[in-house]
Amino acid sequence: MQVKVGRLRKTLRLIIPFVVLILFAVAILVPIAFMLISSVKHPLDVFEFPFRWIPRRLHFYNYLQAIAGNDQKYYFIRNTFNSLFMAGSIMCLNVLIASAAGYGLTKFRFKGRQVVFVLILATMMIPFETIMIPLLMLTIKLRIQDSYMGLIFPIMLTAFAVFLMRQSILTVPDDYIDSARIDGAGELRIFFSIIFPSVRPTAVTLAILVFREAWDNLIWPLIVIQTEKYKTLPLYIIRFLDEKYANEAALMAVAVLATVPIFVLFFAFSRYFIGEGILTGAKG
């Protein structure tokens, strides 16, 4: 009897984690499936109850309307370019500046180094909403409001990025750097030839996280941009929602198209993100 109970407990220990993971996967995948299926349904069938998971007919014209917009002005293309440019620029600047800051905070000895690091960490506790208005006032004073510079400059670096890269650069042995300096290498060469290649998995992971956050950013573009020329994709979705006669199926198609760059970026660098990223690159 005790043997059977022991086997049952062992079996449950193996099964329960898989059941929990399956439930989590279902909770994550069901909204995505709803979005994909709704994007090819007739607009009147999107919110039918009970929801029909197999459409009566595929309506791919929803994607044409998503790109053209209800006003047929094709702002989607321009807004997508703006989002790609903003997110890509913020991603590159974040990774480069945070890596340089992490290099300085770990491999250089100077007075107050720990104080500087603690102050950087302290800024992580400040909600963006509390500095949003001061940042807006700064962009107005610098006359960069309603421009690419206004979109990028105020949010081009985060404390989390500095923290992550600093923790990763701590794992780089000082002997490599000392040997390079003895051989006459300058700090820039050391940074780009030794430091950055050594922390590439963490840098790629950070790049994906920063790109996703910038791509989804709605609040900052909403308050700093007024003209169509510089509006981003989240603002396009908001305008689509505000239409008096919105096509919900086309709106779902816009959402599908908006997720494509994130999925492409993730799967292109998934080996860094899953296998060699934060879990291995930021120890220490």
Which of 41, 62, 83 is a domain's end point?
A: 62
Residues 44 and 80 in one domain: no
pLDDT tens-digit series, residues 207-264 = 999 999 999 999 999 999 988 889 999 998 888 777 656 678 888 898 899 998 888 8
CATH number (domain holding residue 142): 1.10.3720.10
Residues 109 and 12 in one domain: no
Residues 180 and 229 in one domain: yes
Which of 42, 62, 82 is a domain's end point?
A: 62
Residues 158 and 203 in one domain: yes
pLDDT tens-digit series, residues 146-188 = 899 999 998 888 899 999 999 999 988 888 888 888 888 888 8
pLDDT tens-digit series, residues 134-156 = 899 989 999 998 899 999 998 88
Residues 28 and 74 in one domain: no
Residues 202 and 244 in one domain: yes
Residues 158 and 33 in one domain: no
State residue 15's pLDDT score: 84
Residue 283 confidence (pLDDT) above 50: no
Residue 69's region, left for phi above 0, alpha for psi from -120 to 50, else beta, is left
State residue 163's pLDDT score: 92
pLDDT tens-digit series, residues 109-136 = 888 888 988 998 898 888 888 888 889 9
Share of the chain above pLDDT 70, in %: 91
Residues 96 and 162 in one domain: yes
- Domain count along the chain: 2
Residues 37 and 71 in one domain: no
Q: How confident is the model at residue 16 (pLDDT cuts 50, 70, 90)?
A: confident
The answer to whether 66 and 190 are in contact (CB under 8 A) is no
Residues 69 and 56 in one domain: no
Residues 270 and 132 in one domain: yes
Share of the chain above pLDDT 90, in %: 24
Range of the domain at 245: 65-281
Which of 62, 81, 104 is a domain's end point?
A: 62
